[in-house]
Amino acid sequence: MTPNKYSYIALASMLVRNRSHGKVLSRVQPDREEIDVFPTVYKMNTISALRKLFGQASEICIYRFTPEPAYHMNRALVFRFLLFMHKHMPEMFSTNLMIFVRK
């Protein structure tokens, strides 16, 4: 499982420098500890990148999905807005990719 490069979470993450992720995450996920914040790279986070990396000889199965919102600042209104957004956004903007590869 990996974040989808085209999700709103990844797009927001790309706008913030890696060294500032801890500060930003402490506001949108107050219960998250800074030790649990890692640099983002997004090299295997699109379907085309995965096909390019694994080649035609591989069987690739990818499921897109969006779980309940995690970045809602513990605010019910933000949580409900994100639930609404998750329900109505196009599938290509799903927040996660679950990837299975067989050579």
Nearest to 74 by CA among 22, 3, 25: 25
pLDDT at 100: 93
Listing from the earlier edge strand, what are the strands of the sheet with 2-3?
2-3, 96-102, 59-65
The encoded tokens of residue 39 equal 């640099």
Quick one: which H or E segment has residue 2? strand 2-3
pLDDT at 63: 94
Q: What is the mean pLDDT of each run of 10 residues along the chain (103 residues)?
A: 92 90 85 84 90 86 92 91 95 94 88
Domain ranges of the chain: 2-102
pLDDT at 10: 93
Q: What pTM, to 2 d.p., does this model score? A: 0.77
The encoded tokens of residue 46 equal 């699109």
pLDDT at 88: 96
pLDDT at 29: 83
